[in-house]
Amino acid sequence: MKASIYLVMATLFWSGNFVVGQAAMGSMTPLELTFWRWALVAVPLLLLAQCVERPDWGAVLRRWPTLLLLSALGLSGYTLLLYSALAHTSALNASLITAANPAVIVVMAMFMLGDRPGPVGMLG
């Protein structure tokens, strides 16, 4: 039951991001929205990481250039592109495109990498 509640919450937060992002586009640029989104959650996420994962901060600091690049491209880049897209389309269209990403990834992996997903992979 607990897992189901968490899955529903994740879906609500994810979909809410599209709606709130679209509404915020009236008063902020995509860059400002991306900056404030990550600036406001940086400390809570670090505290959560410390409490749950207990990372080896020495190893993290040794790899900071790589981690900074990955976060800039993955987290900030994705968010910036999403909010930029919301300036040109509806939250519904953006969420439908995002929902199609897993299927597109599987198809592209089949064509580009020759990967053949098994029955469970196809079901997913």
DSSP label at 28? S
State the pLDDT at residue 76: 87
Between 5 and 1, name the one with better pLDDT: 5
Burial of 13 by CB count in 10 Å (0-12 exposed, 13-18 middle, 19+ buried)? exposed
* Model confidence pLDDT, tens digit, residues 26-50: 899 999 999 998 899 989 988 998 9
Domain boundaries, the chain: 2-88, 89-124
Q: What is the mean pLDDT of the chain?
A: 89
The per-residue pLDDT for 74 is 86
